[in-house]
Amino acid sequence: MSNEEHTPLLEPAAGGFTEQQQQYFQNVWNRNLYLATFTAVLGPLSFGFVLGYSSPAIPELQTDSNPHLNLDSTQASWFGSLVTVGAAVGGIIGGWIVDKIGRKLTLMSCAVPYVVGFMIIVAARNVWMLYGGRILTGLASGVTSLVVPVYISEMAHPKIRGLLGSSVQLMVVTGIMGAYVSGMVLTWYWLAVLCSLPPTLMVVLMCFMPETPRYLLRKNKRAEALRVLAWLRGPEVDSEWECRQIEANCDEQDTKFALSDLKNPTIYKPLLIGISMMLFQQLSGINAVMFYAESIFEQAHFKNSSEGSVIVGVVQVVFTAVAAIIMDKAGRKLLLAISGFALGCGPIPWLVMSEIFPVRARGIASGACVLTNWSTAFLVTKEFHDLVENITQYGTFWLFSSFCFMNLLFTIFFVPETKGRTLEQIEAYFKAPT
């Protein structure tokens, strides 16, 4: 085999990409990659509608004329937080099926609990049907939050992986804002109907999208993987060469994941980093704000609580879009260290989670991260009202702030920079002695 075949694919130079790398990027044809990414992020858009739905729906349900649907404060907190229970379970299920049936089919399967869950809410005759609908849509959200970052990271090349990976969180906050805005003009049941449309569109379009080349190579489907790479990169790129680089890494890890692999630094190091990032993301209190935005503004005596929620949603969308644009230039670590939520803590943990795990452990390890994220989200959203009652709103948000400061220290000392590196090079980083 020639020296060229042993050359690491797109090794990042200290000062940026080399001339050879720039030539590679000039020849890459990204149109089909953008199309596949757009289709995939309809899942996070659906996920965002799920998260945002409770904010406009809860005030309506608390004053609903039907006594069986009229929620008291305890029921309202369960209605808001049960979605995180479903999502935690979805993380466990998703971590298993994403390696069994593939990234594409896992993503398509998410549409079923999304649509069924919202239809149960539309048809609700009692509070238990409302709870059931929230759990199902949460289940779909948990699987989506795992599989979409993995799908995109395995399809993208290093120069735009940050941009495309950040679009996941961008679509989440777009869905949240969409639920807030729509909730100003739609009743809670028509809003549920609207929320079922993005997953329906996703499953239709996903029928025409490919499986990721890394997953196909792991399943010994080389010819199909090569066709996918050619479709993604275009005719001007040597897809055979890129395929060999990915294949070489797959050959090194063709064994299945076992518990004994947790002793391997390429697994336990990124796993600890991923879990910690997810823990700090939720302990920032963001989902308490998103789920109960209208209630928070009402307690703060905001003139129009619905408008206040929309403003929060707009700010999230704008700054998440900014993060997506600058992610591949500024880097993950810098943005995570200096930002507020939409610029860093929102999009970056999901992006880094999709980048740092080796292929054989990607499903299981990502599932552990998603389980951590949504379990913590449940704790925060369910206990938010109790925290406010016991230590006041001021004390509650100071507590959230202290976790944000701890996150800053953790980022500075432990989070690696993954900008401009292939997934194989990131794995090699964790192999190196510290």
CATH code of 87's domain: 1.20.1250.20
Beta bridge partners of 331: none
CA nearest to 112, candidates 95, 129, 137, 135: 137
pTM beyond 0.85, yes or no: no
- CA–CA gap between residue 40 and residue 45 (Å, rounded): 9
**Angle of CA points 49, 54, 56, to nearest 5°:** 95
Residue 2 lies in a domain: no
CB-CB contact of 306 with 184 (8 Å): yes
Q: How many C-beta atoms lie closer than 10 Å to residue 433's C-beta?
A: 4
Residue 16 lies in a domain: no
- CA–CA gap between residue 299 and residue 410 (Å, rounded): 33
Residue 345 lies in a domain: yes
Residue 66 lies in a domain: yes
Mean pLDDT by 10 residues, the chain (434 residues): 39 49 70 94 94 86 78 82 88 88 94 95 91 94 92 86 86 90 89 94 95 90 91 84 75 62 83 93 84 70 74 85 84 85 85 84 85 87 82 88 92 87 79 66
Range of the domain at 279: 30-210+221-431
Distance of CA 384 to the CA centre of its chain: 23
What is the structure's pLDDT at 308?
78
- 3-class SS string, 101-141: CCHHHHHHHCHHHHHHHHHHHHCCCCHHHHHHHHHHHHHHH
Question: 101 to each of 155, 182, 274, how far by Cα in Å?
Answer: 17, 35, 24
Residue 312 lies in a domain: yes
What is the structure's pLDDT at 17?
55
CB-CB contact of 122 with 221 (8 Å): no
Tally of domains within the chain: 1
- CA–CA gap between residue 196 and residue 117 (Å, rounded): 9
Residue 25 lies in a domain: no
- CA–CA gap between residue 359 and residue 281 (Å, rounded): 24
Residue 100 lies in a domain: yes
Q: How many C-beta atoms lie closer than 10 Å to residue 47's C-beta?
A: 31
Which residue, chain included where needed, has tokens 């609908």? 133
Helices and strands in the chain, H and E counts: 22, 0
- CA–CA gap between residue 241 and residue 230 (Å, rounded): 11
Sequence letter at residue 84: T
Residue 40 lies in a domain: yes
367-397 burial: b if 16+ Cβ within 10 Å, else e: bbbbbbbbbbbbebbbebbebbeeeeeeebb
